[in-house]
Amino acid sequence: MTLIPFSLSALFSVWINLIHGINIQPIPEYPVVNHPVTLRVIGVSGTILSFSWYRSSSVDNSSLILTYNSSSNVVTQGPEYFPRAIAYSDGSLSISILYTSDQTNYTVQVKADSLTKDTIYLRSYGVCVDPPVDNTVGILAGIICGTFVGLALIACVTFLLYTRYILPVRQANTAGKFNNKQDTSATYDNVIDGGVGQNITVESAYTGLQRQQDNAYCDLKMGYK
């Protein structure tokens, strides 16, 4: 007769567990490697008397991480215990620094008004890196600017060379040609001036004949006397 109430109580506990149950919630939702993560237990009905965490998908003493007893506030370490694991009185398990090797199944068994358990597969995520920015436009702009700067420098150097070396030579050549023209005209002027200043007269042959006739005329007059 006493077995019937016990069986009904067990069935009632199982029914309560199926309706309510417990859940493991990772905080943050996407745990990052080398950062802390907490496996929070929610949905516990009643006061927690004790709980145990396992590094597997089943309750197995060989995979026990730790057991926490609320009455004595004592943590008992299991075969899979590691110093980064910290237990809290609400049934949660915290990992201070998450490694990639921590990515596996974790199971918690909580003893409160009833004995309940839940399993979660803990995933670890790497730190997101922003994709490299496409610098094609920037590179093209830099090439164009560099080209213009180079052309400007070439123009400046060319101008300086022209004003320093080529322009003086051209000016000297122009001045020499101008001086040569002046010298030629001066010589020509001297020839003309010399002719005018001397008043050169040219005696023609006819003038000589005139003088001879005068002399002959004089001789005839003298003979007549």
Residue 77's pLDDT is what? 97
How many CA atoms does the CB half-sphere of 53 hold within 13 Å? 30
CA pair distance 62, 53, nearest whole angstrom: 11
Give the pTM: 0.52
Q: How far is CA 166 from the centre of its chain?
A: 45
Q: Which of 44, 193, 213 is nearest to 114 (CA)?
A: 44
Token code pair at residue 70:
């609320």
Q: Which of 73, 72, 55, 37 is nearest to 109 (CA)?
A: 55
Token code pair at residue 44:
């516990």
What confidence tens digit (pLDDT) does each residue in 35-84 have? 999 999 999 999 999 999 999 999 999 999 999 999 999 999 999 999 99
- In the chain, which residues have pLDDT < 50? 1-7, 9-14, 16-18, 186, 188-198, 200, 202, 206, 208-209, 216, 220, 223-225
CA pair distance 23, 17, nearest whole angstrom: 11
Residue 10's pLDDT is what? 44
Specify the CATH number of the domain 7-121.
2.60.40.10
The domain ranges of the chain are 7-121, 135-189
Looking only at the bridges linking them, the beta strands covering 93-95 and 105-111 are unpaired
To which residue do tokens 């145990």 refer? 52
